[in-house]
Amino acid sequence: MGMFREFLEKELESIEKKHLLRERVILPKGVVDFSSNDYLGLKDCKETKKALREALDNLSLSSGASALMSGYTEVQAQLEEELARLKDSESCLVVGSGYLANVGLIPALAGEGDTILSDQLNHASIIDGIRLSKAKKVIYRHNDLNHLEDLLKRETDARHRFIITDGVFSMEGDIAPLKGIKYLADRYNAVLVVDDAHGTGVIGEGRGSLFHHSVAVDENIIQMGTLSKALGSYGAFICGSKLLIKYLINKMRTQIFSTALSPVQNFISLYNTRLIQKQPFRRERVLDLAEYTVKKAKELGIPLNYHGTPIITLITGTEEKALYLKDRLLERGFFVQAIRPPTVPKNTSRLRITLNYSINRQQIDSMLTALKEIY
């Protein structure tokens, strides 16, 4: 056992030396959070809490089993119906988390003889899902349609082709060119899978990236998303044809062998899915705040990268610089997370500024003034 302890210590030492050590923080009260994915300010929503209090007596605290045993509940069925409608899909399957959705969905879809074409900057859960499948993995350069087409042309022998992309890239904030990608998917007979963890609730009138690009949903499009970001809850969904969902219920291991979400959690998701459609001012405000941040930063000479979403970056290159900026900002009451490898490629460490509904313009002004001084 002594040797194992040494191994742990050495590994951590090496991570720390490279400025890559990660720690969890509990944000002190009063710190303004520029790192949350709670884009629409729903995680502390008073209206949802009130509705939950009123419903609680009639909700079980746990589902008690997987959905295929006895864990499937009325509230989950209603949530799936609501999400299918939001995503203009025939059917929907709700599962434990976005990570579980991707590591379950991809191996269920693709196996030996299939090819998955995956954007270079796709989320780790997609990368892990592809690893778990036995399909051939082909990476295309980030959002590069020409490269994607070149690679598709070479994959004619594959049984099935899948193109998988984030809708909104979590660490860049840019939106995949889904019109062009869908055109290529149709031309080369590929199924398109969009991970819309960061697009859902925020862009495309709240319906996500495909709607933002006016791409019509058809049976060769699979939309995945999480309930834990703009929807202020926990869990994830996969929307597609009735046939696909029936297939996944039978084939997707993270759905079969994992306990269904608690009815309490599903109630929150359902309530918030309805709420975001009734309260478009939430997404309008967060998009407005993002635009405001970039305009103000420009006036101050801070070079932010902005793509029309609430995820904005300041590339620092080195890990030290990103950490330095994060620490100094935290001392002044602003939490802006430093993102380092392996979450982003080498030499592209950054501050990731995310806006959310609960932030105001004054707080943005103060954060940027502080950033300017430190930067």
Ligand X SMILES: Cc1ncc(COP(=O)(O)O)c(C=O)c1O
Q: What angle do CA 13, 14, 15 make, to 5 degrees?
A: 90
Binding mask 112-151 toward ligand X (x if CB under 6 A, else -) reads -----------x-x--------------------------
If the CB atoms of residues 99 and 375 are measured against ligand X, the closer one turns out to be 99
Which listed residue (97, 209, 313, 343) binds ligand X by CB under 6 A?
A: 97
Q: Does 352 bind ligand X (CB under 6 A)?
A: no
Sign of CA dihedral 17, 337, 224, 249: positive
Q: Does 172 bind ligand X (CB under 6 A)?
A: no
How distant, in Å, are the alpha carbons of 92, 94, 156, 242, 257 from that of 163? 20, 22, 14, 20, 26
Q: What is the rounded CA–CA span in Å between residue 68 and residue 93?
A: 12
How distant, in Å, are the alpha carbons of 56, 205, 355 from that of 41? 22, 17, 10
Least distance from ligand X to the Cβ atom of residue 310, Å = 13
Q: Does 89 bind ligand X (CB under 6 A)?
A: no
Helix (H) or strand (E) run with residue 104 in it: helix 98-109
Strand 221-226 relative to strand 161-166: parallel, antiparallel, unpaired? unpaired
CA atoms within 13 A on the CB side of 30: 3
Which listed residue (48, 165, 228, 254) binds ligand X by CB under 6 A?
A: 228
Least distance from ligand X to the Cβ atom of residue 171, Å = 8
Q: Which stretch binds ligand X (CB under 6 A): 8-16, 71-79, 93-101, 259-267?
A: 93-101
Which listed residue (38, 80, 166, 319) binds ligand X by CB under 6 A?
A: 166
Q: Which stretch binds ligand X (CB under 6 A): 55-63, 136-144, 191-199, 292-300?
A: 191-199
Which listed residue (79, 116, 135, 236) binds ligand X by CB under 6 A?
A: 236
Which listed residue (34, 39, 99, 162) binds ligand X by CB under 6 A?
A: 99
Least distance from ligand X to the Cβ atom of residue 261, Å = 11
Interface residue list for ligand X (CB under 6 A)? 97-99, 102, 123, 125, 166, 170, 195, 197-198, 226, 228, 236
